[in-house]
Structure 1
């Protein structure tokens, strides 16, 4: 699974590539964030991005997603 997050002021997206990605809405001290939680090889990591900075979130479909040999 791959997610591209386009941020204000940047031409290139921030790319998250993992086995599973969760995007959650969270409010911390009155500010709204997106929590990007991604899982690779059984380990999860999180990154918080202020919703004010996000222009667009796009899911990229992997061509070989169904090919597991």
Structure 2
């Protein structure tokens, strides 16, 4: 890389860093934060449901805690 390319890369990094710092410091509306939290919760539940279906291969399952998945046996007639 030549010297002008290094200077451009450093300048670009500083600009991106400044924008990120400004975005973190900008006040959020209360509704936006709660909406984002609700979306993250929904995504987490969907992810856990997908993982349970994949691991348990269609059998009933439950999450005991954040790291423990229990697959139930199918009910015998």
TM-score in terms of structure 1 length = 0.24
Greater per-residue strand proportion: 1
Which one has a bigger Cα radius of gyration? Answer: 2
Q: Which has the higher helix share?
A: 2
Considering Cα pairs closer than 8 Å and 6+ residues apart, tell me whether 1 or 2 has the greater RCO.
1
TM-score for both structures, normalised by structure 2:
0.23
